[in-house]
Structure 1
Amino acid sequence: MSIKPLRKAVFPVAGLGTRFLPATKATPKEMLPVVDRPLIQYAVDEAIEAGIEQMIFVTGRNKTAIEDHFDIAFELETTMAGRGKSLEVLEATRLKPGACAYVRQQEPLGLGHAVWCARDIVGDEPFAIFLADELMIGKPGCMKAMVEAYNRIGGNVVCGLEVPASETDKYGIIDPGERDGALVEVKGLVEKPKQGSAPSNIMIPGRYILQPEVMRILETQEKGAGGEIQLTDAMAQMIGTQPFHAFTFGGKRYDCGDKAGYVQANLELALAHPEIGAKVRAFGERLFAKG
């Protein structure tokens, strides 16, 4: 079996971020910082660690801050250099020439539609998808571990994560088959099943490796849950025609599209930060001692 290398990643970043208003009125939710890096930077860093070469951002109105973030900031860099400050802190924001591509999603028609907007850039290659508000922390990174699995088995690989049964109606849920270590055969997918009807408690936390055939399915995909074009529905049609597995990630996941999850991510990563961890921990101990 010939397995094409994974070189491209799609970042659907056109969402309005309404759950974080008014903070996201003028700032993309993907640019909200977790300690000292915006969410989109964590996702791109994860992609680079996995060996991905081209980042495809599916943007919308008021998302130019994302483009600016991965561009060269001449005024900032000149000023910093003139003051003798190191530019090393900006290295991760300077992607290689040609490594970024941007395409606009004009209407908010769902995740499946956003991914489909990148079809011409993806072409006839397998590609990864990153949902930047799903912050995945681990060593190795989630996508790197998924790519290692993909290079062995090919086909389609999604990340799998167990959640409480009471939360299965919030996510795309896997109908599992045979297990082989961290890999689980995917027999079916259900988008946001009603309480009590989920085939398992394994959800897909915003990391995917898909074959390009999914784009042809999305082209005629009808609206599903929430009145949107759902990626899960398109993936479900590929099961049985191509290998399809879930890789269970052993690291941590923070739902940074949720206010509580976002605060938790900031707190835990701040505690682990070498510069500020001790101060944050001491503050937390004083704060909780008062309670």
Structure 2
Amino acid sequence: MKAVIPAAGRGSRLGALTDDQPKGLVEIAGRPLLAYVFDRAIEAGAEELVVVIGYEGAQIVDRFGDSFCETPITYVHQRERLGLAHAVLQAEPHVTGAFLVVNGDNVFIDSLQPAVAALEDDGVDGVIAVEDVSRNTASRTGVVELANETVARIIEKPTDPPSTLVTTGCYVLPEDAFEACKLVQPSADGEYQLSEAVSLLAHAGYTIATARVGDRVNVNHPADLDQAEALLQE
């Protein structure tokens, strides 16, 4: 299985930390953010990392080269940052079969293996790693709506969340997800959402299960770096 790692963003909310380097190279406890992402992807079974780069992407190539812990790395460019579905679609020429997606700005404290393992259940076509949050937090992210214990759709930033189960930036998707990404319509802000592609798969009859993978920190602000470091030290 290959892992697609979207890491094209600048991370402007991190302020001066990304003035001259990409978000994925901001350090946490002495290591770049992407090193933690790569660790979890490889631990979950990724045999190759397909890293989607953009802003100052050459620095990521220089830092990691063509492998990480003996796992090959392939780099693809997202020349315009048009959302997660658009980022994932850039990896299509390099991926066959089911694949793992791990957002390049998430620090997962625990293993992602439960998400990959859930793909082995009978009839399961894909898996989303999820977590339970407050209703206030749910209104600011992708909310998962279930039907018969599988994903019916994902709603981005709903005013009135139908649940408090949300996405975490980790997906195990069938190869057909690339075709679903091509069908996604842009959001009001011009981005193509991976959550919409997953919803299209569910609507088409694909069985998308959920799995819980423990604590994680979505690194957007300087305070998130401190939180991630504290959790890692624990």
When the two structures are superposed, what TM-score results if normalisation uses the length of structure 2?
A: 0.92
Distance in 1 (CA, whole Å) between partners of 2:10 and 2:231 is 26
Inter-CA distance 269–248: structure 2 relative to 1 (3 Å threshold):
closer
Q: Unmatched 5+ residue regions in structure 2?
A: none
Cα offsets for 1:51-81 (capped at 9, x unmatched):
1101001111412222122228xxxxxxxxx
Match of 1:174 among 140, 144, 154: 144
Aligned to 1:164: 134
Separation in 2 of the partners of 1:221 and 1:11?
Answer: 20
Structure 1, unaligned runs of 5 or more? 1-6, 73-91, 179-183, 273-291
- Residue of 147, 156, 160 corresponding to 1:191: 156
Q: Which entry has the higher C-alpha Rg, 1 or 2?
A: 1
Residue 24 of structure 1 is matched in structure 2 by 18
Superposed CA deviations along residues 64-105 of structure 1, whole A, max 9, x for unmatched, are 222122228xxxxxxxxxxxxxxxxxxx94434xx2111111
- The number of aligned residues is 232
More helix by share: 1
Counterpart code for 2:98: P
The answer to whether the 8 Å contact 1:192/1:225 transfers is no
Query: 1:119: which partner in 2?
Result: 92
**Identical residues among aligned pairs (%):** 29
Q: Which runs of at least 4 in structure 1 moved beyond 4 Å after TM superposition? A: none
Show the counterpart of 1:204. 167
Residue-by-residue CA offset, 1:197-256 (whole Å, 9 max, x unaligned):
21100110110001111211222321025321111111101104111111122x211121
Q: Is contact 1:70-1:95 (8 Å) kept?
A: no
Indicate conservation of the 8 Å contact 1:71/1:94, yes or no.
Answer: no
Does the 8 Å contact 1:134/1:257 carry over to 2? no
Task: Looking at secondary structure, tell me which structure has more strand per residue.
Answer: 2
| Secondary structure of the structure 1 residue equivalent to 2:189 | helix
- Alpha-carbon contact 2:109-2:232 (below 8 Å) kept: no
1:37 and 1:214 map into 2 onto residues whose CA distance is 32
Partner of 1:134: 106
Q: Alpha-carbon deviations, 1:27-67, whole Å to 9, x = none?
A: 11111121122111111111111111010011114122221
